[in-house]
Every structure is written in structure tokens, then in C-alpha cells.
Amino acid sequence: MSDNILEVTDANFQSEVLDSDVPVIVDFWAAWCGPCRMVGPIVEEIAQDQAGKVKVAKLNVDENRETATKYGIMSIPTILLFEKGSIAKQVVGAMPKSALIQELGLA
């Protein structure tokens, strides 16, 4: 995982994501998920491109079921953009970098 990406868990989700002063992109994923592996490098590129503007995090849904359940994650990959502790944008499924940036409002 890239230095620009934070691994979040059920234990630190509140402090790292909900209490963050900057917007946070959270990639909900699992190791067995093929589309998640396709999106992973795109998320890493976004983390590098947006360094200092947004925080980028990944949450493994198999290891952190409480948070995944709380946010109703039914399909992965799901990417949520949090601003001031609330979901601002939601993207479900794999897509090209340009489409993901547009969907998240980062363009």
C-alpha cells in the first residue's frame, strides 16, 4: 500500500475519517475482490494526485464488518467521500480514473 494511503479499521474509523479536518476518500474493499484489485492502483494514483487536499483510506470489509455494515456496504468496491463526518459522495463498482475523479467531484 502506498505511503499516501491510510489503512482504517473499525477501531480508528471515527478518529481518522469522521473527525478529519479534510475530506476523506474511503475505499471499501476485500482481498478476494477482482474489481477491487482493478480500482486499487487508481485509488493510489488519486492519493498521490490529491495529497494535501484530501486524505485517502482503505477499509478491508472482511476484517472490519462493523463499519461496513454501518454504512450499508453491499457491493465492493464502494468508495465513499466523507466531508465533516458525513457521506458527501458514493461510488459503487470499478471505473476508469477519469470517471472516478468526476464522480467524486475532484476534477
Q: Is 21 exposed, middle or buried (0-12, 13-18, 19+ CB in 10 A)?
A: exposed
Which residues are the active-site residues?
A: 33, 36
Three-state SS string over 34-103 comes to HHHHHHHHHHHHHHHHCCCCCEEEEEECCCCHHHHHHCCCCCCCEEEEEECCEEEEEEECCCCHHHHHHH
